[in-house]
Amino acid sequence: MKCDRCENQATVHEVTVHKGTKVEKHLCEICAKDEGVVVQHPPMSTLLSKFVISTEPGAKDHRPACPICAMTFAEFRQHGLLGCPSCYQTFEEQLIPLLERAHEGGSLHVGKIPRRAGKSLDRHQRLAALRRELTEAVSLERYERAAELRDELRTVGDVPPDAETDHEPELS
């Protein structure tokens, strides 16, 4: 491919998205430097170490593998399927960015809920959030906020109105 500015061979390829439009630039190294594009060439050994597995006898592969099914992240990338539930914990660090990208930054389920479970599930999630916030408010000694949250929990229906709440909630 030729450079967009001159007739030399393009060795730098830049893709950007500007206002929803994909813009591609194909430049030679000289034109790339003129446009302020930083061209860095890491040492070849660094590049190869990411892709080549040592074939020496007794050499260990330092990439993590699932302790249950022995799947590596490279195998997951190749097949697109995890081997077992333990893989989610093993590869959590690598999976989170993939999931966030796939779900446009979301990490919590916000999709549809079956009608028969909808109201009870919404209520359950709301109660859990209020309880977490109450525990945090008490631990930070924000007792006024804790009282507000306690009252809201009563409204939602988690704390019976006759329950004794004049003392601090126990944190376990």
Q: What is the mean pLDDT of the chain?
A: 76
Residue 144 pLDDT grade (very low, low, confident, very high; cuts 50, 70, 90): very high
Give Cβ neighbours of residue 31 (< 8 Å, ≥ 6 apart): 3, 4, 5, 6, 8
Give the pLDDT confidence of 111-120 residue by residue, as tens digits: 666 666 656 6
Distance from the first to the final alpha carbon of the chain: 65
What is the per-residue pLDDT for 15? 80
Answer yes or no: is pLDDT of 39 > 60: yes
Give Cβ neighbours of residue 106 (< 8 Å, ≥ 6 apart): 100
Pick 155 or 42 by higher pLDDT.
Answer: 155
19: amino acid identity, one letter = K
